[in-house]
Amino acid sequence: MTDDAAATPTCLARPLPGPDDGGAGCAAARGVDGRPLHAAALKFFWGPMDCGKSTMALQMNYNHARQGRRGLVTTRIDRSLGPQVTTRIGLAHTAVEVTDELDLRALVRDTWAEGVRIDYLICDEASFYDVAHVEQMAELVDGYDVDVYAFGLATDFRSCLFPAARRLFELADEVARIQVEVLCWCGREGLLNARVVAGRVVREGAQVVIGDTVDTADVRYQVLCRRHYRSGDLGPRA
Ligand SMILES: [Zn+2]
């Protein structure tokens, strides 16, 4: 993906905070590293499990890096349970694990302090972040001119919005449903993430329980259309 916004620098009307901000304002519409500011954006890409969110996140990271931009990849509770983004089709990338204590703004500032300009963040599994992290994403866009691309589920196994996803819907400059369709067993478009325990759809419990979408896990998830999510019908495989 090319960044068309890079061609239209805008003034942020206040100095960028940064490691070497010597009080230079934005009269010339330039960041602390002397580069022209552009219109950074917060974008949220959402879809059900298995729709290729992490694959798209890594593809976007690759595309931006190829243009000479510097970014960081963050994640929380990746299916690999390690500090990396993994995808079901086999891609992997090291990532910063987002903990309760992590401040995304400090993460960017600290990286800048090491002499590495960060142009963008790729925030995978963003639905599992805290609402405070979403506020930090917005501030990175507005105050630091850093693009933030968040990827995640919209709703949990009860079909209710995750708090961080709700905040992303409220704050993002752009929200896009990922267009890789996941089908319910009936052939309809998959929309909702059912949690399955002992072969039955469950509708109560903790909002986040690690499982997978393979049939062998104790707790697994299955993407269903709304009709079969509501009826709890897992189809002929169940
Ligand atoms: Zn269905």
pLDDT tens per residue, range 110-122: 999 999 999 999 9
Query: Is pLDDT at 79 greater than 80 in this prediction?
Result: no
Task: Assign 210 a pLDDT band (cuts: 50, 70, 90).
Answer: confident
- 96's tokens: 């910063």
> What distance in angstroms lies between residue 183's CA and the mean position of ligand 1's atoms?
8
Strand-pair partners of 222: 194
Instruction: Please give the average per-residue pLDDT across 124-152, as a whole number.
Output: 96
Res 217: pLDDT: 64
pLDDT band at 8 (very low <50, low <70, confident <90, very high): very low
Q: Is the pLDDT confidence value at 22 over 70? A: no
Q: CB-side exposure of 78: number of CA atoms within 13 Å?
A: 26
Neighbours of ion ligand 1 (CB under 5 A): 184, 186, 188, 225, 228
Active-site annotation holds for 97: no
Tell me which of 97, 101, 114, 125 is the catalytic residue: 125
Which pTM value belongs to this model?
0.79
Statement: residue 24 has pLDDT above 60: no
Average pLDDT over residues 41-69: 91
Return the C-alpha torsion angle 100, 109, 13, 123, nearest 10. -50
Ligand 1 geometric centre to CA of 227 (Å): 6
Number of H helices, E strands in the chain: 5, 11
